[in-house]
Homo-oligomer: A and B are copies of this chain.
Amino acid sequence: MSGAASGAASGAEGGAPLRVGLAGLGTVGGGVARLLTQNAALIAARAGRKVVLTAVSARDRARDRGVDLGGVAWEADPAALAARPDVDVVVEVIGGSEGPGRAVVEAALAQGRAVVTANKALLAHHGAALAAMAEAAGLALRFEAAVAGGIPIVKALSEGLAANRVARVYGVLNGTCNYILTEMARSGRDYAAVLAEAQAKGYAEADPSFDVGGVDAGHKLALLATLAFGCAPDFDGVSLEGIERVSLADIAHADELGYRVKLLGVARRAGDGVERAVRPCLVRADSAIGQLDGVTNAVVVEADPLGTAVFEGPGAGAGATASAVVADLIDIARGACGPAFGVPTATLTHPGAGAAPTAAHYLRLSLQDRPGALAEVAQDLGLEGVSIRAMRQHDHPGCGGATVLIVTHACARAALDRALARIAASPVALAEPVALRIEDV
Task: Name A's B-contacting residues (CB within 8 A).
Answer: 1-13, 16-19, 31, 34-35, 39, 42-43, 45-49, 87-89, 112-114, 137-140, 144, 150-152, 155-156, 158-165, 230, 286, 288, 291, 303-314, 317-320, 322-324, 326-327, 329-338, 342-344, 347
Given A155-B156, A163-B43, A334-B338, A138-B309 contact (CB < 8 Å):
no
Please measure, in the bound complex, the distance between the C-alpha atom of A144 and the C-alpha atom of B11, giving whole angstroms: 20
Once A7-B335, A322-B163, A343-B45 are accepted as A-B contacts, the answer to whether A138 and B314 lie under 8 Å apart by CB is no
Whether the Cβ atoms of A43 and B311 lie closer than 8 Å is: no
Taking chain A's interface residues, is the majority helix, strand, or loop, or is none over half, making it mixed?
A: mixed
Per CB-CB distance, the 5 closest pairs between chain A and chain B, nearest first, are A152-B160, A7-B335, A305-B319, A7-B10, A163-B326
13 A–B contacts from the bound complex (CB under 8 Å): A4-B139, A7-B332, A7-B336, A12-B138, A42-B165, A151-B309, A152-B156, A160-B324, A160-B327, A163-B330, A288-B288, A305-B319, A306-B314
Please indicate which of the listed interface residues A7, A10, A320, A337 has the most CB atoms of chain B within 10 Å of its own CB. Answer: A7
Report the copy number of this chain in the oligomer. Answer: 2
Quote the shortest CB–CB distance from A283 to chain B (angstroms): 14
Chain B residues within 8 Å of A314, by CB: 306-309
Q: Which of B162, B288, B329, B336 contacts A9 (CB 8 A)?
A: B336
Cα distance A342–B306 when bound, in Å? 24
User: Which of B18, B89, B319 has a CB less than 8 Å from the CB of A304?
Assistant: B319
Report the Cα distance A9→B139, complex, angstroms: 12
Bound-complex Cα distance A380 to B138 (A) = 70
